[in-house]
Every structure is written in C-alpha cells, then in structure tokens.
Amino acid sequence: MKNTIFKIFLIILLFTPNFVMANTEYFKEGLSLFKNKKFDEAKFKFEQDIVFNPKSEMSYLYLSKIFNNLDNKYLEEQNLNTVILINPKNEEAIYNLAKLKLDSSDYKKSKELNERLIRLCENFCERSKKLKKEIENLSKK
C-alpha cells in the first residue's frame, strides 16, 4: 500500500514541473507573437494560457490589446474589465478602459476611471493628467 502511494506521488512529482512549465510557455509564446504583430496566433496562445491559469491578468491585458488592434471594442472592454476584476490596481487596464469609454463618449465613466487611476497612480500619472484634460475638454462640447 505504501509502495503504491509512493509510486503515485513520484509520478505526479515527475509530471508536475512539465505541466507548470508548459503553462508559462503559452504566455511567453503569445507575447513573442504579439510583438511580431501576429495577432491571431498570439490570441490563441493567450487563450491557452487562460485555460491553465484563469487568473492570468497579463493574458487578459494582451487580449484587450489584440482586440484594440482588431477594432473589436466590445471584446477589448470585456478583457479590460476582467483584468480590473483580477487586479483592481492595474493602471494600464484602468487607463485603457478610461480611454475606451472616452472614445465611446461615456464621459462620466471615463472621468470616474481616471479619478480612480489618479488615486493609485505610479506609472501612468502623466497619461492620467493628459486624459483628465481631454475628458474636461470633450465633456464641455
């Protein structure tokens, strides 16, 4: 009995690193494809990463960027919302969603998102300030 349990444990231990390594490779491959503007292939790799790691914040973020490039605003927004759900402090996702809302003339939501970004700003401070001015200028028209 002990010998059987040990064998099962050993088999699991041997295959687990390969399984975990395979999962991280999907994101790396997707990122490489994204950088080479192979969006359809990159999309597939990021989706594969999400299958194995449903909380892959960066895969959702890159999917949103792909959908931005493909001009699919609905799926871009869905992926940005997922990133923010996973990590409410992801500045890039908040900024991109605020820009997306501004582009669709949702000034109130854009302003709300930008104010949130200003409160936790570390990397997107300058962009946030510019966006604030843009929101103010467009909402006056």
pLDDT tens across the length of the chain (141 residues): 555 554 555 456 455 444 444 457 999 999 999 999 999 999 999 999 999 999 999 999 999 999 999 999 999 999 999 999 999 999 999 999 999 999 999 989 999 999 999 888 888 888 888 888 888 887 776
CA-based torsion, 87, 91, 92, 95: positive or negative: positive
Joined together, the tokens standing for residue 113 give 């998102």
Quick one: CA torsion of 112, 54, 47, 20, rounded to 10 degrees?
140
Write phi, then psi, for 24 (nearest 5 degrees): -70, -25
User: What does pTM read for this prediction?
Assistant: 0.79
* Domains of the chain in sequence order: 21-87 (1.25.40.10), 91-141 (no CATH)
